[in-house]
Structure formats: C-alpha cells, structure tokens
Amino acid sequence: MDLRFKEIPQMNEIIKLFDYPKHTVKEISNEIIEKYRQKILTTDESFSKDDIINDIEKALLDHSSYSLVNTINATGVILHTNLGRAVLSKNAIDRIIDIAKSYSNLEYNIDKGKRGSRYTHLVDTIKKITNCEDAIIVNNNAAAVFLILNTFCKDKDVIISRGELVEIGDSFRISEIMKQSGANLIEVGATNRTHLIDYENAITEDTSAIIKVHTSNYKIMGFSEEVLANELKDITDEKNLYLFEDLGSGSLIDYSEYGLSYERTVQKCIEDGVDLVSFSCDKMIGASQGGIICGKKELIAKIKKNQLLRAFRVGKLTLAAVEATLISYLDEKNAKKEIPTARMISLSKDEIKEKADKLYNMLNDIKGIDIKIEESRSKVGGGAYPIDTLYSLSIAIYDKDLDKLEKHLRLSKYHIISTVHDDKLYLDVRTIFEDEFEKIKEVLIDYYE
C-alpha cells in the first residue's frame, strides 16, 4: 500500500479539531480528502497530515466568509442594478448606524408616551420637498404600485397606454404586477401612439382609474404620441376617476443642465394634480431600497388601512437611510454634494478630468502597464434615462490578454468591475470613488509587477 494513505486523518480526529458544525466539517473534509486520494493515485507528490489539516482549515474559513461583498464599480453606470443601485450618502450611513445602535421611536410617540406609527417619520420631509399632502413608504416601488391598485382598483378597470407596458429587469413586468393586485387592466392606444380620445373611449362605469407608467428603460421615438398626466387630469376630474402615476426612478431634481433630457420630477406630478405618484428610493433618489407613494391625504389614509401594507412594510434601517437622504434634498445644493448618485450625475467636465488625471498618474508608474485617458460615455442606469449618456473619461488599459486582466480585477479582493471593448479594458472614473484609486493601483501592481 502507498504509505501516503497513512497521512489521511480520521474523520473523528478532524471533527475534534474544529468548532464548526459537524456536518460542515464532514462535507468539507471529504472534499479535501478526496483530492488527496486522487493525488496519491495519480502523482508521486509527497505531503503530510498537517498539509491536509491546513487545507481543511482554509476551506472552512472560506466557507464562512461573506457572500455579499463590496465591489468597485468602474463601469460608468451610476445606478448599476447588479451592483446594488445607489450608494448611500454619508448622512444616510451615519443614521443607519445611530438608529441601529440603540432603541428608537420607530413606533412610539415620544410626546404622548404611547404607541406611534413608523409611517410618520418621513412625511414632513417629503411634504416640504414635494408639496404633497401626505406620503407613505413601502419596501420598493413595485410594492407601491401593487398597493395603490389593490387599494383602489381591485375588481375594477384601470386604463393604461400600450406604450407604457414596461418590463423592468430580470423579466418582471409592471403590468403583471398590476394584474396580480386584482385590478383589471384595460390597454389603450398603440405601442407608439396613444391619444386622449383612446382614454376617453375606454372609460365605462367599471373604470376606477387611469395610470401613467414611466417607460423608464426604453423610449418610444419617431412617430409617437403620449398623453401627459396634466392632460388626463381634466378627464379624470370630470369622470370622477383616480389619476395615478408610476414614476419609476422618480427624481426630485431636474438634471437637464447636466446633459440629461428633461424628466418629470415628483414635484411636477404633484403640481399636475396626480392623485398618487410612486417612485423608487434606490434609483435617482439615491437612498436604500424602498418605494414612496405621495399625494392626496385621504388616499394615503386608505392605503394605511390596507392589510397588505403589513407585508410590504419597511424596517427602521430603511427609514433611517431614506430620511437622511431626503433631508439633503431640502436644499438642492446639499443633495448634489452629499448624495453620491446626485454627485456623480452632476460632476462637471473639469471634475471628471481631475479624477482621470489623478488615477492616470497613479497607475502610470506601474512597470509594464500601457494606459491612456480616453473619452467614454457614462450611463445613469437603473432603468432611468435609457438613451442619454454623459460625457466621461476612462483609463483605457492595453494588454495582450484582456480577458485575463478583466478576471484578475474582478476576482481580486476588491472585486473591480470593468468593461472590455475595442481591444481595451476601460475604467470609467465617474463611478469610481477617489478612495478606491489606491486599491485599483494595488491590484494592477499585483498583475503587472
């Protein structure tokens, strides 16, 4: 018999060595031991019992490491859905930590000394920003849309334009979510054109609402027509119907001065007299996952009575993050300084150039690296501004094996996510934070030197 078999430890012996659950130790040890058995059968390599035990220990450590980890977003896509959408502001992060650290008044009315409601916390701030009568927050915008329709349109007709049957990421269709709410969707118009008369003709006694859905991740151009909420308002008023709007990304700032096209803001929806408008908290707002509904006070009151609200409610950490983020919007200048999403969108050309020069100079010292600063186009992402791009600059890396380089960056301990095209690897500086430059350098030194 090959003497190396003697080095393979007994399972009982291994289990005693580690404090992990037995089934985990067994499973992992069996895998490692199998590798050593194969080694004996196919090679002359020598090893000791300690080598095997060390390998098991390493595998156990790997096994207990985090699954959700930080990445460096060098793609230039600001709200990268796969990379966690919005990065929180420092205020939001500090508030999460503060609120998490001790008890809070989540559902306690401090003035009265009795039970309060978690839904009171954001209302004043949202009112100040948007001039709405009332607001409520739920787990995400999909839940917000569902809850609106379930509360007001169950077993009734809701009119929607065929041009607005949006499919968001991972093949989720807003219209399917709407149907699940119990509302009966009445599609009107053609994909490219819907007229006021189409809505008017579809109204029957069973109609309860008209809903406008922001097309988010696509745009219908060319021979196209849509009816805006303010035009629909006259009909819904006359026929006593609700007018709802799913704004999707829901910006609180008009970014048209930064090279993006004009998008309706939440404020504009309220000004137009929409009864309820809903939007995501982790898209253009730049906070954590959540969905806000704002509009008429009596309608929000009805939503609060819907039993399903409980299934969609947010936790205190979400409230902490969203409240802190919204407070920045009380002064638009603060929002653009403090909220990373707003900051990245509003970076000037000079600021982009400064970032690119700085990263270039840091990386250009690396022996054997071949880089240039090249113009690139950043995207907002997250299903917002589907056709607009923003001027940006990238560090373009020339390398004989770009796939290997891309993989090295991605699998490094900082998980740098880059893009490869036109025979270069690109690091778009718009979405890279300056405190990540040093990390990128470290990983590239490891590759080249």
Ligand X SMILES: *Cc1c(COP(=O)(O)O)cnc(C)c1O
Q: 21: Cβ–Cβ under 8 A, 6 or more apart, which residues? A: none
Tokens representing 88 are 């929180």
140 near ligand X, judged by CB under 6 A: yes
Tokens representing 99 are 């609120």
Pick the binder of ligand X from 163, 189, 291, 295 (CB under 6 A).
291
Pick the binder of ligand X from 72, 79, 137, 142 (CB under 6 A).
142
| Binding flags for ligand X, 202-231, as an x/- string (CB under 6 A) | -----------xx-x---------------
CB of 291 or CB of 439, closer to ligand X:
291
Size of the site for ligand X (CB under 6 A): 16
- Measured in whole angstroms, the distance separating CA 262 from the mean position of its chain's CA atoms is 22
How far, in Å, are 1, 187, 350 from residue 356 at the CA level?
A: 63, 48, 10
Closest CA to 290 of 314, 310, 307, 324: 314
174 near ligand X, judged by CB under 6 A: yes
Cβ 139 to ligand X shortest distance, Å: 8
436 near ligand X, judged by CB under 6 A: no
CB of 174 or CB of 425, closer to ligand X:
174
CB of 40 or CB of 145, closer to ligand X:
145
Could you give the angle at which helices 123-130 and 316-328 cross, rounded to 10 degrees?
30
Q: Which stretch binds ligand X (CB under 6 A): 153-161, 245-253, 336-344, 372-380?
A: 245-253
3-state secondary structure of 278: strand
Q: Which stretch binds ligand X (CB under 6 A): 27-35, 62-70, 244-252, 308-316?
A: 244-252
What span, in angstroms and rounded, lies between the C-alpha atoms of 431 and 427? Answer: 9
Cβ 264 to ligand X shortest distance, Å: 12
How far, in Å, are 11, 41, 111, 319 from residue 8 at the CA level?
A: 9, 14, 68, 54
Do 254 and 262 form a contact (C-beta atoms < 8 A)? yes
Pick the binder of ligand X from 76, 163, 248, 381 (CB under 6 A).
248
What span, in angstroms and rounded, lies between the C-alpha atoms of 296 and 293? Answer: 10
Phi-psi region of 286 (alpha: psi -120 to 50; beta: other; left: phi over 0): left
Cβ 66 to ligand X shortest distance, Å: 24
Task: Return the residues of window 251-290 that contact ligand X according to CB under 6 A.
Answer: 280
- Residue with nearest beta carbon to ligand X: 248
CB of 213 or CB of 369, closer to ligand X:
213
**Residues in contact with ligand X by the rule CB under 6 A:** 140-142, 145, 166, 168, 174, 213-214, 216, 246, 248-249, 280, 291, 383
